[in-house]
Amino acid sequence: MTKINLTDLNFEQLEKEITFLNEPLYRAEQIFTSVHKKNVKSINEITAIPASLKEKLGRNYFILNLINAKITDSANSVTRKFLFETDSADSGQKNFIESVLISEKGRETVCISTQSGCNVGCEFCATGKMGFKKNLSVSEIISQIYEVKKLSGKNPSNIVYMGMGEPFLNYDNMLNSLKILTHPSGFGLSSKRITVSTVGFMGKIKKFADDLTSPENSSIKNVKLALSLHSTNNGFREKIIPTSAKNTLQEIYKEISYFYQKTKNKVTYEYIYFEDLNDTDNDVKRIARLLRMVPSNLNIIPFHKIDFELQKPLDAFNNKQDTKKLLSNKKLFDFIDKLKNEKVIVNLRSSSGSDINAACGQLSVDQQRIQNSL
């Protein structure tokens, strides 16, 4: 019998396992609290249960420990990047993932990954250039938070699913991780402090809205949605986000409207700024129309240099991007002013961690090189 990872189980799943073991249901809460609030590393560390139950659990269950391989600190002391090692269950091959802690404005935000690599292949993203390695298990998703908390001594106040990978292509594990993180007997984070980002897939945003508003999922009802938009022009967007060819903006917009009508949760649009490519007057008009559809805001993100040659139409940015210069770029601020004149709520995101390749679009690991060096 294959052993079951206790960290993978949401509360209801754990109750079923406890019932199967002919143990009283209150043991489920004791175990769940030990794993997700106290973050024990082994079954023997669960102090609330008797030795007989520990022995029983030890035969068929275990608790995952991600292995921390490296911590890198940004020069500004705001950002820390964590490299974790994880094993592929089917092949035993080592895989690596990255997580980021951003400490600013009184918040401790952990940016977590849902895949090792990514199978979307966005032209501007280093993770997409890695290719797809594996979907992360529930335990591998949430253990990033537990390990960052332990290693940094910081108590996470916000979680963003914006690390390596596309959350909606690992949907079930992503959703279960949300249920665990927001359960009051576990990590207990308010769902208002969690954001899930996606490039947009037909049917998935609608399903997400339905799942958030399902009566049995009340703890996750306020999770926010962020759409990686980057362009309101279908043709340009298809060139930089390959999956958008089958997931058109027209259909995604319909699902965004459904999401808001169903959840009443405000939507965020992420928009990497590419000078002279997605900052025209027509872009301003289309963005303004889009943001009038539902309560929402636009986050403008500087494009961060990556260690790959960009293809058309982004090839002009090869080795030329300087974030410091961009943040004083008159065209960028003219673009922002035009959006504000259209009553668009727009924020210019900082580039915390770009010096350690921890900013948006920079997460990437050379799996073989790292494995050989460990």
Q: CA dist 169 to 54, 76, 120, 327, Å?
A: 35, 34, 9, 33
The tokens for 289 are 């129309």
User: CA-to-CA distance for 334 and 330, rounded, in angstroms?
Assistant: 6
User: CA-to-CA distance for 144 and 166, rounded, in angstroms?
Assistant: 16
User: CA-to-CA distance for 170 and 174, rounded, in angstroms?
Assistant: 6
Q: CA dist 201 to 120, 330, 366, Å?
A: 11, 35, 28
> ∠ CA(40), CA(171), CA(161), 5° rounding?
65
- Reply yes or no: is the peptide bond before residue 302 cis, omega within 30 of 0: no
Tell the residue number behind the tokens 């609290």, with chain if given: 33
User: CA-to-CA distance for 53 and 281, rounded, in angstroms?
Assistant: 66
122 assigned to active site: no
Helix, strand, coil percent content, the chain, rounded in steps of 5: 45, 20, 40
237 neighbors 279 (Cβ within 8 angstroms): no
> Residue 345, Cα to own-chain centre: how many angstroms?
23
98 assigned to active site: yes
Indicate which residue of 111, 118, 122, 360 is catalytic. Answer: 360
> ∠ CA(317), CA(238), CA(160), 5° rounding?
75
Indicate which residue of 15, 17, 23, 98 is catalytic. Answer: 98
Task: Please list the active-site residues.
Answer: 98, 360
